[in-house]
Amino acid sequence: MNIFLRTLLAASLAAAFSMPASAQQQERIIRFGHLNNVDHPVSLGVKRFAEVLLAKSGGKMKVQEFPASQLGNELQQQSALQGGVQQMSAPATTSLAGIVKEFGLVDFPYSVTSFAQADALLDGPLGKTLISKLPEKGLIALGYWDLGFRNVTNSKRPITKAEDMDGLKIRVIPNPVFMDTFKAFKANPLPMPFTELYPALESKAVDGQENPFAVILSNKFFEVQKFVSATNHVYAANIILVSKKFWDELTPAEQKWMQEAADESRTYQRQVSRAAAQKAVADLKAAGMQYNEVSPAELARMRQIAQQATEHFTAQYDPAIVKLYRDELARISKQ
């Protein structure tokens, strides 16, 4: 090899090694699916995550959003992530109780009473411990987004006390904690995929459902429901999931960018979600729904009724995680 060729080769190698990581890496397309409409705070969180990740990766990691259940319901998308067909999703944590049953702790009714308590519980040791159980199930979690406190709507009557739910056919997430909670209120809980909910309400196959205010508004349940009651029975969170098969293909730098993008989008998403919930109440009333709050004394009574229904679940969970959960509740109750 002559001097010219050796010099050219050396220069090429030096240039390659001096290139920034974002320039060396391959372009990646990330299919990010979720159940919500494009006007929902979860979709806004996806968009912010995509913007941050695109910037951090120098334009190499691009997110394609698939909202409104385009890639299937929560369990179908979960299977797609586990199989490596889909890269990301942002389901409610409730959907994970089928593979890590201790996620059911997040759904225990009336366990937190404020957003500050909810954030402390999920961002602290309990939330991190639950996340650590997912890789063996083919999933990686990058943190929690806000979905909000869940509230009951129905077409029959306002819910002002536990007895008002007696006999109502209420659609619930296919989750045993939700089933038993509403059975304790003597309602008739019916598990049903979210995609089937609107037509079921419209046809009166079910009397009502329970969801955060922003979900109720975004999905136009006000068209088929008359009453919305601030039962605030469960705080709901979304969890940012990544396919482990996809995650394992990423470089350490790419993994770092994704975690940083998730962290940065979390603060923004929670802010817009909570602002949207507050605005949604006014919008639902303007759309013709009859809104009512539940008195603090009655909420305390409903909490006692619901707790009796969920006590047996703690016996089925890992005792160490149950203890951590109780310790964390004691800690955050001061916030």
pLDDT of 19 above 50: no
83: helix, strand or coil: helix
Q: In the chain, what percentage of residues exceed pLDDT 70?
A: 92
Which residue has better confidence, 3 or 255?
255
Mean model confidence pLDDT for the chain: 92
In DSSP terms, 64 is beta-bridged to 31
b (16+ CB within 10 A) / e for 127-165: bebbbebbeeebbbbbbbbbbbbbbbbbbbebbebbebb
Burial of residue 194 (number of CB atoms within 10 Å: 0-12, 13-18, 19+): buried
C-alpha–C-alpha distance, residues 92 and 301, integer Å: 27
Q: Among residues 332, 334, 292, 333, which one has the least CA distance to residue 154?
A: 292
C-alpha–C-alpha distance, residues 201 and 204, integer Å: 5
- Mean pLDDT over 11-22 rounds to 44
pLDDT tens profile 290-331: 999 999 999 999 999 999 878 889 989 999 999 999 999 999
C-alpha–C-alpha distance, residues 164 and 44, integer Å: 35
pLDDT given for residue 312 in this prediction: 81
pLDDT of 20 above 80: no
Task: Spell out the SS3 assignment of 153-182.
Answer: EECCCCCCCHHHHCCCEEEECCCHHHHHHH
Which residue has better confidence, 104 or 24?
104
pLDDT tens profile 183-203: 999 999 999 988 899 999 999
pLDDT given for residue 323 in this prediction: 97
Q: Among residues 312, 322, 308, which one has the least CA distance to residue 103?
A: 322
End-to-end CA distance of the chain: 72
Query: Which residues have a Cβ under 8 Å from the Cβ of 8 and sit 6 or more positions away?
Result: none
pLDDT given for residue 5 in this prediction: 45
Of the segments 20-29, 44-53, 173-182, which one has the largest average pLDDT value?
Answer: 44-53
pLDDT given for residue 17 in this prediction: 44
pLDDT tens profile 273-292: 999 999 999 999 999 999 99
Cβ atoms 148, 213 nearer than 8 A: yes
Query: Which residues have a Cβ under 8 Å from the Cβ of 35 and sit 6 or more positions away?
Result: 42, 67, 68, 69, 73, 74, 91, 194, 195
Beta-sheet pairing, 227-243 with 208-211:
unpaired
pLDDT of 151 above 80: yes
pLDDT given for residue 309 in this prediction: 79
- Mean pLDDT over 234-258 rounds to 97
* Band (229; pLDDT cuts 50, 70, 90): very high
pLDDT of 14 above 60: no
Cβ atoms 40, 92 nearer than 8 A: no
Lowest-confidence range among 4-18, 206-220, 230-244, 253-267?
Answer: 4-18
pLDDT given for residue 1 in this prediction: 52
- Mean pLDDT over 201-224 rounds to 96
In DSSP terms, 238 is beta-bridged to 92, 145
How many helices (H) does the chain have, and how many strands (E)?
13, 9
pLDDT of 207 above 50: yes
pLDDT of 139 above 60: yes
**Region for residue 213 given its phi and psi (left: phi exceeds 0; alpha: psi -120 to 50; beta: otherwise):** alpha
Q: In the chain, what percentage of residues exceed pLDDT 90?
A: 84
